A and B are shown apart, each in its own frame.
Chain A
Amino acid sequence: MPPFLSEARLPHDAIPAPVIAFRTAHAAVLPIPFSRASAAFSCLFRIDTSGDRNQMGDKLSTEEILAAIRGGSSPAPDSAASETENQDTAPAEDENPAADEKADASASESSADDQADAPKPAAKPAPTGTAGILDAIRSGGAGSGASAAGGAKQDKPSSAPASGSASAAPKSTADILAAVRGGAGGAKSAASKPAKKKSAETPAVDSEAVRGLSAAEIIRAARQGQPPEVAEKKPVPLPSRPLKPKLVVRSADEMDLPTSRRGFVSRFFAWITTPVVLAWTAFTATATIASLATARFMMPNVLVEPPTKFKIGPPSDYPPGTVSTKWKAQFGVWIVNNEIDGQQIIYALSTVCTHLGCTPNWLEGEQKFKCPCHGSGFYKSGINFEGPAPRPLERMGIRLAPDGMLEVDKSVKFQQELGQWENPASYVPVV
């Protein structure tokens, strides 16, 4: 059992208060089947608190590590991984516990002295920048972790977990973090504890020296190469960590679900009245109504558009060989009286270019429609002959109304490339 659990020990087999409240409330106000159903649901998502806290929390977060360094009494994993090779090569020098009060650098020197391959950062001048500090940490191993190992060894060399990071200088940031997690985690309890308590499970740690200091103070101290001056070493009690409920899914027979039809109905009712279902149902309904309301705009009450069928006057208004542009602005059609294949006909051409939809202009001098956007050109017949337009202009429907007027129907169109210009609805013969 790691020591931090002894500080904030959880009640075993305790049912969390919310669950209890949930059950009792339902039992109080609801008929029996419903309370049974709620019990079934609470079985489904039973909150289990009896598990060992340590199984979930053996990896420390950065905040916890920082708190460990600052407060010294931080939670620590029972890092079996860190009880490693260093037990044999652990330093056994006769340093009194006061040596542990030294700064990180000097402490790591003392432990590193026994490492044949370990460099001696403390022998060097004090690191001057962040990079220097990092280098010092890299070469010397995690200082506090190493010193913790040293401090632990001299009291309880057999059981104290030596910091794994002291064995070899970590190379990367990940190594350093691992070292801090393992070593500084190993430094969980106060370094002075070997001197004071000599508890079997409590490894010594040098982070006593830096306990209660801010990160800036630690770095400044490391720059000066001197131990940080600690005003007071009162251990700050850690706040108890919030519970992390554990989800346990029980098997069906274990849940003892009711099987009657009545039970099913009541269960469904219980499910349908849960807040999340209500909320999503309301949201879906609202969204559906909004979509339908928007779709209503597709069928407006009043359509402010020119009619698709309109009279354009008698055929005599359009003498042979002319292109009339008088309906272009209003309806977007040219009325052409032209001879095609030996037959004099009147037809209505759409004013939309078949290339990209610009509006061409009728050039009387050149007898062609010319698009200003990309230079497509069309003959009077509507056939494309220059520029990028891939197909001829489209004809609109046209007919001779019973009253002798020409009537254009824009709702139908006739495309030459599909052979639709043969359709008699696409032209009116001039007699």
Chain B
Amino acid sequence: MDPHPDLTSSVLTGLGWYYLIMCVMNVLWTVRSYRVDGQVPKSVPWIGGIPVAAFWASFSALLMMVSVAYFTGTRSPETFPLRLPDSFKDSFDAVTANPVVFFALSVVGFVAMILLRRIWIKDTVAWLLLNGALLFMGLSMTDWDFRQIVGKPDNVPIVGMLFILGFLTWIYFRRAVDNDDRIAAGQPLYEQEDNEKVLVWPDLVYTELICMVLLTALLIFWGIALKAPLEEPASSVKTPNPSKAPWYFLGLQEMLVYFDPWLAGVVMPMIILGGLMAIPYIDFNRAGNGYYCFRDRAFAVSTFLFGFLPLWVAMIVLGTFLRGPNWNFFGIYELWDVHKVESANNVNLSEYFWEWPLFRSIYGGIPRGGDVGTILIRESPGIVAMIAYFALLPPILGLTILRRFMARMGVIRFMVFSNLILWMAILPIKMLLRWTVSLKYIVGIPEWFFNI
């Protein structure tokens, strides 16, 4: 008997319900499509003239059949055919079980989200995306390892968060593109034309009351259905493997992989908080007050979303689903093997610099010694690099590509702004350096607990 069965009877039953719910959702969508979507244009060969709703109806029927198949296959889960093929899992893991690929994909997705916003805000496209995500989830649930990670009570809110986040982002872009079009056409804004102002009492209070009741019911149900994952008593000499922060801090924990504790755990969170608070004082763009828009605030929105989606949410996903024992990187269908070997040998910038053949032949290797002068000379490449990064780069940027910003903001405001941007950029930069050249620290002075 396989200790890690991909399919069990209870999993099959659960997936039967899962596809049944998807079927109901798509039946409702079919009704909506029949009323709204109309027919495929006559010019299209073969299928011209057929109502679009027909495709959704057949998709719903397919889901219904899948659901019935799962319900009826519970007697022999070992031989049940509807499962994710191993070849797909292996190839998927081979490509994605790599922080570089994951981060690159998240950035590509982020750029695509902004560039293709006119496409994916459409109702049908968004519904297709939702169906795709749900199908991916449902099929992946037939894998034991995936189920262990996603089904863990700790991680359920993260799965929910991903869907909620996608929905809210979709709403934003939908409203923003709508208003962009209105501005371009000289029409009144959506917020002005479709004024949804209602009375606090009863409209708002009633809504809040209903939300309160529903959320309380949901939380009670959740608290009963999913047990809190308690572990053994804490011990100062035994750390769970892997040891994960609360899910909302997993982005922070991922930052700690690349930085010194005081930097990633103290300085950078404070810069994040201070920077968020500073946004209203830095922002000089008067457009976009009180209405959704993208084109009026393209820079602000893109910067914020980059910091939020790839640098925070994607890090949470990475830390939750893709980090396993010994904080190694695992694919989503990969067994969490404690003995998985990931060879890494991280090197400080100073070692790279002084051991470079040219400098080695001149200076004879890295300076050794514990006195202040030697340490500073040893770490001078990193110190110079950091000074250049934080002190020279802002004025250079302000005089070249960000000249317009500097003119609008004034020098001091621009310096604050550019330093915040540079702090935000240092995380992906350090990640890339770690992945590409195994760089441990740019400035590494363990003698003084000062490492960047």
Considering only residues 336-369 of chain A, those with a C-beta below 8 Å from chain B are 351, 354-356, 358-361, 363, 365-366
Residue A129 CB within 8 A of the other chain: no
Q: A332-B237, A390-B449 known; 7 other A-B pairs, CB under 8 Å?
A: A329-B238, A358-B239, A361-B241, A371-B327, A375-B328, A387-B327, A417-B447
- With A358-B243, A418-B370, A418-B447 as contacts: A372 and B236 at CB distance below 8 Å: no
Which B residues are CB-close (under 8 A) to A377?
344
Residue A374 CB within 8 A of the other chain: yes
Which A residues are CB-close (under 8 A) to B242?
372-373
With a 10 A CB-CB cut-off, give which of B236, B257, B326, B345 has the most chain A CB atoms.
Answer: B326
- A388 to B442 Cα, complex, angstroms: 12
**CB–CB B236/A374 < 8 A:** no
Residue B153 CB within 8 A of the other chain: no
Residue A307 CB within 8 A of the other chain: no
With a 10 A CB-CB cut-off, give which of A332, A366, A387 has the most chain B CB atoms.
Answer: A387
**CB–CB B446/A372 < 8 A:** no
Residue A138 CB within 8 A of the other chain: no
**CB–CB A373/B243 < 8 A:** yes
9 examples of A-B residue contacts, CB within 8 angstroms = A358-B239, A363-B326, A372-B240, A373-B256, A375-B328, A385-B345, A385-B346, A388-B258, A417-B447
**CB–CB A417/B446 < 8 A:** yes
Query: Which 3 A-B pairs have CB atoms at the shortest separation, nearest pair first?
Result: A375-B327, A391-B446, A372-B241
Residue A46 CB within 8 A of the other chain: no
Which B residues are CB-close (under 8 A) to A363?
326, 339
**CB–CB A374/B346 < 8 A:** no
- A354 to B441 Cα, complex, angstroms: 15
**CB–CB B261/A355 < 8 A:** yes
**CB–CB B259/A388 < 8 A:** yes
- A359 to B236 Cα, complex, angstroms: 8
- A354 to B327 Cα, complex, angstroms: 16
Binary per-residue interface labels of chain B (239-250) against chain A in the complex, 1 for a CB within 8 Å, 0 otherwise? 111110000000
In the complex, how many angstroms separate the beta carbon of B390 from the nearest chain A beta carbon? 20
**CB–CB B240/A387 < 8 A:** no
8 Å CB contact of A390 from B241, B327, B441: B441
Binary per-residue interface labels of chain B (297-332) against chain A in the complex, 1 for a CB within 8 Å, 0 otherwise? 000000000000000000000000000011110000
Residue B116 CB within 8 A of the other chain: no
- A363 to B339 Cα, complex, angstroms: 8
Which residue numbers of A lie inside 8 Å of B, CB to CB? 328-330, 332, 351, 354-356, 358-361, 363, 365-366, 370-375, 377, 385-388, 390-391, 417-419
**CB–CB B238/A359 < 8 A:** yes
- With A359-B239, A372-B325 as contacts: A386 and B261 at CB distance below 8 Å: no
Which B residues are CB-close (under 8 A) to A355?
256, 260-261
**CB–CB B257/A375 < 8 A:** yes
- A417 to B236 Cα, complex, angstroms: 25
**CB–CB A351/B260 < 8 A:** no
Which B residues are CB-close (under 8 A) to A385?
344-346
With a 10 A CB-CB cut-off, give which of A385, A388, A418 has the most chain B CB atoms.
Answer: A388
Is chain B's binding surface mostly helix, strand, loop or mixed?
loop
**CB–CB A356/B261 < 8 A:** yes
Residue B44 CB within 8 A of the other chain: no
- A76 to B100 Cα, complex, angstroms: 79
**CB–CB B256/A356 < 8 A:** yes
**CB–CB B237/A329 < 8 A:** yes
**CB–CB A366/B446 < 8 A:** no
**CB–CB A373/B237 < 8 A:** no
- With A366-B339, A372-B325, A374-B327 as contacts: A388 and B256 at CB distance below 8 Å: yes
Residue B265 CB within 8 A of the other chain: yes
8 Å CB contact of B326 from A370, A388, A418: A370
Binary per-residue interface labels of chain B (425-449) against chain A in the complex, 1 for a CB within 8 Å, 0 otherwise? 0000000000000001100101101
- With A351-B237, A387-B327 as contacts: A372 and B243 at CB distance below 8 Å: yes
**CB–CB A365/B339 < 8 A:** yes
Residue B451 CB within 8 A of the other chain: yes
Residue B350 CB within 8 A of the other chain: no
- A259 to B444 Cα, complex, angstroms: 70
Residue B253 CB within 8 A of the other chain: yes
Binary per-residue interface labels of chain B (265-282) against chain A in the complex, 1 for a CB within 8 Å, 0 otherwise? 100000000000000000
- With A385-B345, A386-B346 as contacts: A356 and B265 at CB distance below 8 Å: yes
**CB–CB A366/B341 < 8 A:** yes
In the complex, how many angstroms separate the beta carbon of B227 from the nearest chain A beta carbon? 23
In the complex, how many angstroms separate the beta carbon of B23 from the nearest chain A beta carbon? 42
Which B residues are CB-close (under 8 A) to A361?
239, 241, 326
- With A329-B238, A387-B344 as contacts: A419 and B451 at CB distance below 8 Å: no
- A390 to B450 Cα, complex, angstroms: 9
In the complex, how many angstroms separate the beta carbon of A408 from the nearest chain B beta carbon? 14
- With A356-B256, A375-B328, A419-B370 as contacts: A387 and B346 at CB distance below 8 Å: yes
- With A386-B344, A388-B260 as contacts: A332 and B236 at CB distance below 8 Å: yes
**CB–CB A375/B261 < 8 A:** no
In the complex, the chain A residue whose C-beta lies closest to that of B438 is A386
Which B residues are CB-close (under 8 A) to A372?
239-243, 325-327
Which B residues are CB-close (under 8 A) to A356?
256, 261, 265
- A197 to B440 Cα, complex, angstroms: 96
- A419 to B344 Cα, complex, angstroms: 25
- A329 to B236 Cα, complex, angstroms: 9
In the complex, how many angstroms separate the beta carbon of A183 from the nearest chain B beta carbon? 36
In the complex, how many angstroms separate the beta carbon of A16 from the nearest chain B beta carbon? 52
Which B residues are CB-close (under 8 A) to A387?
257, 327, 344, 346
- A391 to B346 Cα, complex, angstroms: 12
In the complex, the chain B residue whose C-beta lies closest to that of A330 is B237
In the complex, how many angstroms separate the beta carbon of B174 from the nearest chain A beta carbon? 37
**CB–CB A390/B339 < 8 A:** no
- A385 to B257 Cα, complex, angstroms: 13
In the complex, how many angstroms separate the beta carbon of B185 from the nearest chain A beta carbon? 36
8 Å CB contact of A388 from B240, B257, B339: B257
In the complex, how many angstroms separate the beta carbon of A372 from the nearest chain B beta carbon? 4
- A386 to B446 Cα, complex, angstroms: 15
- A373 to B255 Cα, complex, angstroms: 12
In the complex, how many angstroms separate the beta carbon of B108 from the nearest chain A beta carbon? 25
In the complex, the chain A residue whose C-beta lies closest to that of B235 is A329
Which A residues are CB-close (under 8 A) to B451?
390
Binary per-residue interface labels of chain B (334-365) against chain A in the complex, 1 for a CB within 8 Å, 0 otherwise? 00000101001110000000000000000000
